[in-house]
Structure formats: structure tokens, C-alpha cells
Chains A and B, each alone.
Chain A
């Protein structure tokens, strides 16, 4: 196999890591929604925690995207 082809396959495989971040984000927003529907008055106070969890989880998906980019464009 050519090295160039292996590079593209590797970048594609690296993107699988984003599935984990997707599951995590779904968990966060789903659980927030179910919690805030049970107790709507408490949801306002937890909005910053929601965004914090969103950013922390999303970063992990970005890491795998970064690995794919490094494979594609890196030295």
C-alpha cells in the first residue's frame, strides 16, 4: 500500500474518536433536559454547568479531529 493512501485511511480512522464525544454530548444535553423538565425552576442555575460540560466534552472530540489533521497535514 502506498504511504499516501495509508495516511488518508489513518485520518479516517482517527475521526472515529468523535463518536465518543457525540455520545457524551448527547448524554449531557439529554440528561439536562430530563432533569430540567422534572424541576424547571432549578434548570436556570445549572445552565453554566451545562455549558461547562459541553465545552469539556466537545474538546475531546476536537482532539481526535486534531489527530486526523496532524496525520493529513503534519510532517
Chain B
């Protein structure tokens, strides 16, 4: 490639401050840096936008309020009115993932969510909350989640299927987010590479480079949509799983 860098180089983890704690590598890396940027930026945006706290909201305050209402509705429709105690959890999760995805769209930045370990940790957190709260709330009744409402002779077939589908939830939840971010960024890089290598061919090549350039532009817009959608899907599925924890019987 003309740029001299492969499409996977943007995902390389760089150590800034090497640290070790109890035999574990806890170095401060570019991943940690961008996570901190996401958290600080989110907090700053919300603190600044509700600074006035007026009854008639200004521009920034209405954006914050609209966003709050959006997540509020998502939790209310997904988990139900009795699940509103999970609102802060889903709100934090959604905002963090959305911020990381969007920051990853900035050129030369680092996409935290393009690493499976980050998304898998988030998915495990969700599943732990679902299982622990489900058992705390329903006791043994939580196992009704695996018993669908069908004739008894079908149960030996369906119960293993339900258990396998439950166990594959954290995998599909994390791989969906990570694969989308990874594949999207690689596709952008490859198409942008076409532009450079075609333009290097001469005047006729520059003319030919217009098409991949327009395509890159369209792909970038699609990537912004995907960055939002994947955060939304992650949060919506979290709501669905939490709903299962609250109401295990089908």
C-alpha cells in the first residue's frame, strides 16, 4: 500500500507508561488513554450542558435532555417500569460505548471498542449483572428462563437449546460490537488506500481516484451510523437480557 502502513496498524496497542501490578501487565496504553478521554469528555459535556439548569432549556441543555429521554425510553420499553433501577447502568454503558465508537471515527485516533477484550469485558459485566440479579430476585425460579412454554415431550430438546443460546449471549454481544468496529475501520482504510495508489499512477489515475474517494466518503457516513447503531444495539440487547432477569418465565 502506498501509505506504507497495513490496514491493521491502527489497532496496535502502544505502551506509554509500563506498569506492573502483582505480576499483571497494567501498563498505561493508548487504549487506556482513549478510554479516559471518552469518560472525561462525556462527563464534561454533561456537566457543562446542564450548568444553567434552567426551566426553559438552552441548546446544550436540550441536547442533554433529549439524550437522557432517549435512553430513558429505551430502558422503559426494554426492561419495563420495574426495571428503572437499571437505568444508570444502561445509561453509562451506552454512553461509554457510543463515545468510544465516535472518538474512534476521528482520524489517527484509537478505537477502544475494536478490541475484543474490551467488549467482552463489557458483555461479561452485563451477563454477571443478569445472572446475579436474576438469582437474587427470583431464586431458583430464575431457571424457568430455560424452560419454554411448550408441550412436555419437547422439553428435552428445547432446554439444551435454551441453555446454549443463553451461554452464547456474551460471545455474540461482544463479537458483534468488536467485529463491526474492526471491519468498518479496515474497510475505510483499504478504500482510502485505493485512492492513494490510484492517484500515484498519474493524471489519468487521479481521475480514476474520484470514485473510490466518493465511496470512502459514503462509507464514512455509514460508519458513523454503524458506530451509533452498534452502541444502540448493545444497550437494547442489555435491556432485553435484564428483562429476562426480572421476568424469567416466558
Are the CB atoms of A63 and B232 closer together than 8 Å? no
Contact, CB under 8 Å: B175 / A63: yes
What is the CB-to-nearest-CB distance from B43 to chain A, in angstroms, rounded to a whole number? 27
- Establish whether residues B186 and A69, one from each chain, have CB atoms under 8 Å apart when the complex forms: yes
A55 to B101, CA, bound (A): 15
In the complex, what residues of A have CB within 8 A of residue B236's CB?
A: 52
Main secondary structure of the interface of A (DSSP, over half): helix
Q: How far is the CA of A56 from the CA of B237 in the complex (A)?
A: 10
A73: chain B residues at CB < 8 Å are: 6, 8
Determine if B183 is an interface residue (Cβ-Cβ < 8 Å): yes
Given A51-B232, A52-B233, are A58 and B8 also a contact pair (CB < 8 Å)? no
Assess the A62–B233 pair: CB atoms within 8 A.
Answer: no
Instruction: Contacts A55-B226, A69-B186, A73-B8 given; indicate if A62 touches B232 (C-beta within 8 A).
Output: no
Indicate whether A65 sits within 8 Å of B183 (C-beta atoms), given known contacts A55-B226, A59-B176: yes
Smallest CB separation, B102 vs chain A (Å): 16
Q: Is the CB of B8 within 8 A of A59?
A: no
B178 (CB) vs chain A CBs: closest residue: A66
Counting CB contacts under 8 A, is A54 at the interface?
A: yes
The chain B residue with its CB closest to the CB of A56 is: B233
Residue B182, interface by CB 8 Å: yes
Is B111 in the interface zone, CB < 8 Å from A? no
| Besides the known contacts A62-B180, A66-B175, A66-B179, 5 further A-B residue pairs in the complex with CB atoms under 8 A apart | A55-B229, A59-B233, A62-B176, A65-B179, A73-B6
Quick check: A51 and B179 within 8 Å, CB to CB? no
On chain B, the residues within 8 Å of A52 by CB distance are: 232-233, 236
A73 vs B233: C-alpha distance when bound (angstroms): 28
The verdict on B230 contacting chain A, using a C-beta distance below 8 Å, is yes
A interface residue numbers (CB < 8 A to B): 51-52, 54-56, 58-59, 62-63, 65-66, 69, 73
- A-B contacts at CB below 8 angstroms, number: 38
Q: Shortest Cβ distance from B73 into chain A, in angstroms?
A: 10
In the complex, which residues of chain B have a beta carbon less than 8 angstroms from the beta carbon of A63?
175, 179
Contacts of A69 in B (CB 8 A): 182-183, 186
CB neighbors of A among B225-250 (8 A): 226, 229-230, 232-233, 236
How would residues 59 to 79 of chain B score, 1 for a CB under 8 Å from any chain A CB and 0 otherwise? 000000000000000000000
Q: Look across to chain A and name the residue whose beta carbon is closest to the beta carbon of B229.
A: A55
Name the residue of chain A whose CB is nearest to the CB of B186.
A69
- Determine the residue in chain A with the shortest Cβ distance to B231: A55
Q: Smallest distance from the beta carbon of B161 to chain A beta carbons, Å? A: 19
Cβ contacts under 8 Å, A59 to chain B: 176, 179-180, 230, 233
A66–B233 contact, CB under 8 A? no
By a CB distance below 8 angstroms, the chain A residues around B8 are: 73
B232 and A58: CB pair below 8 A? Answer: no
Known: A62-B180, A62-B183. A55 touches B230 (CB 8 A): yes
A66 vs B226: C-alpha distance when bound (angstroms): 16
> Would you mind naming 8 contact pairs between A and B with Cβ atoms under 8 Å apart?
A55-B232, A58-B226, A59-B176, A59-B233, A65-B183, A66-B175, A69-B183, A69-B186
